Amino acid sequence: MSFSSTAKEELIRLPFGRNCCLLAELSALTATSASLGFQGWQRFLITFEVENHALARRIFRILKNGMGLSPTLQFVQHARFGGRRTCVLTVPDTDAPALLTLLGMAEERDGAFSLKRTTPSVKLNRQCCRRAYLRGAWLGAGAMANPDRGYHMEWVCGDENQAALIRKCLKSGGLSPASYERRGSTVLYLNHAQDVADALALMGASAAVMSMENIRATRQMRGKATRAANCDEHNSERMLTAAQAQKEAILRLSIEPGLHSLPPALDELARLRLEHDELSLAELGEMMNPPVGKSGVNHRMRRLMELAARYAPGEEQHADTD
Ligand SMILES: [Zn+2]
């Protein structure tokens, strides 16, 4: 399975979480994978069409258990595309008004139901909801390259409105995506290793962050071999062990609460340590802007390690920044 599919499988298995987040995720999935049909006066039909069966089941459960609706699920065999089966979820006209109202697409006034817009409109004021929205949008219309080959993660946006929402979610996670146009759609993307890892962490794919880090380490190791050969063996080994422990601690911080939420001085040192585990703290200090002396870097690294200890595995932390 590709790295992208494995990361998606992980996200699809995540628990539902709060109702606000569920609605945010559903909005993103609706914007990327659903279409609105008209069956007559005030009779609407909402249809989700997805290729990934596990994703279809997740949408089905969100609609049924999360929103109390009665969707139907069927498989459509395509004669073209090598006989691929797509899952088609239909929200019947009896339930469609409720769903459209939840998604901010319609309103009911004096018993009359009226459609306001054809794409979902959500507020996303809370960080938990922005993360859920990002996840839904990526599951519905996102992809990433195998980190073995390069770092690239993208979201294909249905319209400018959705592009603005996804940009907002990434921004609040400290990420600034670049964009380009592809067949009439705006594609937002990230192409730095740490940005891709941060985005995976934001969406909740912590196992994918870890395996991406392993691939990154292997790639860096190759470049490091020459350098290590010139070093005093004992010293460099001791240095690498300490650096490895620091890196693992920082990696935990990058998942929760996210490096962007650290004070800038700590954020900078954390990113340098992730990129260069072959360097000593003094050398990292020299790379900082402005450069920091040995005792200064030591002090900052101690603070990073203390922070990471607070986010030790097994402890649920809330990263709400309402
Ligand atoms: Zn939420």
Instruction: Give the pLDDT of residue 59.
Output: 96
CA 210 to ligand 1 centroid distance, Å: 25
List per-residue pLDDT tens for the chain, 322 residues long.
899 999 999 999 999 989 999 999 999 999 999 998 888 877 889 999 999 999 999 999 999 999 999 999 998 887 766 677 889 999 998 999 999 999 999 888 877 778 888 888 888 999 999 999 999 999 999 999 999 888 999 999 988 889 999 999 999 999 999 999 988 899 999 999 999 999 999 999 999 999 999 888 887 777 666 566 655 555 666 666 788 888 888 888 888 888 888 888 899 899 888 888 778 888 888 888 888 888 899 999 999 999 988 877 654 444 443 3
Helix (H, G, I), strand (E, B) or coil at 234: helix
Query: How far does residue 236's CA lie from ligand 1's centre (Å)?
Result: 46
The Å distance, Cα 200 to ligand 1 centre, comes to 18
Q: Is 153 helix (H, G, I), strand (E, B) or coil?
A: strand
Which domains, from first to last, does the chain contain? 3-115 (3.10.28.10), 232-315 (no CATH)
CA of 5 from ligand 1 middle (Å) equals: 25
Q: How far is the CA of 127 from the centre of ligand 1 (A)?
A: 7
Q: Which residues contact 189 (CB under 8 A, 6 or more apart)?
A: 152, 153, 154, 155, 177, 178, 179, 180
Q: How many residues does the chain have?
A: 322
Q: How far is the CA of 132 from the centre of ligand 1 (A)?
A: 7
b/e sequence 226-265, b meaning 16+ C-beta within 10 Å? eeeeeeeeeebeebbeebeebbebbbbbbbbbbbeebeee
DSSP, res 62: I
Tell how far the Cα of 171 is from the centroid of ligand 1, in angstroms.
17
- Find the helix packing angle between 233-255 and 193-203, rounded to 10°: 40
Report how far ligand 1's centroid is from the alpha carbon of 119 (Å).
20
**Please, which residues have CB within 8 angstroms of residue 150's CB and are 6 or more apart in sequence?**
191
Centroid of ligand 1 to alpha carbon of 198 (angstroms): 19
Nearest to 51 by CA among 78, 11, 72: 78
- Spacing, Cα 25 to ligand 1 middle (Å): 9
Q: Torsions phi, psi of 275, nearest 5?
A: -75, -35
